[in-house]
Amino acid sequence: MSVIIKSDAFVTAEVLALVTRERQSALSVREWQHRLAGYGYGLRDTSDGIVLETLPHHVEVCVLPAELCA
């Protein structure tokens, strides 16, 4: 897995599609977080909302839509 250094709209869209697909498959938020960790991503709660970040480097990928995190 490579570290995302520069924000690329195409890469962000692909990762967001993966995150959405995994959320639809997961039965709970906790399972969703576990599934994302398997892909090398984590969720962090900030004042701007839920942020998707890479693991273990904690590089921010994007802010997730609120309806996805509900």
Q: Would you list the DSSP string of the chain? A: -----S--HHHHHHHHHHHHHHHHH-SSHHHHHHHHHHHTEEEEEETTEEEEEETTT--EEEEPPHHHH-
Model pLDDT, residue 8: 75
For residue 56, is the peptide bond before it cis, meaning its omega torsion is within 30 degrees of 0? yes
pLDDT tens for the chain, residues 1 to 70: 455 555 677 888 899 999 999 999 999 999 999 999 999 999 999 998 999 999 988 888 889 998 888 7
The whole-number pLDDT of residue 24 equals 94
Extents of the domains making up the chain: 9-69
Question: Residue 6's pLDDT is what?
Answer: 56
Looking at residue 4, what is its pLDDT?
A: 52
Helices 9-25 and 29-39, packing angle to 10 deg:
140
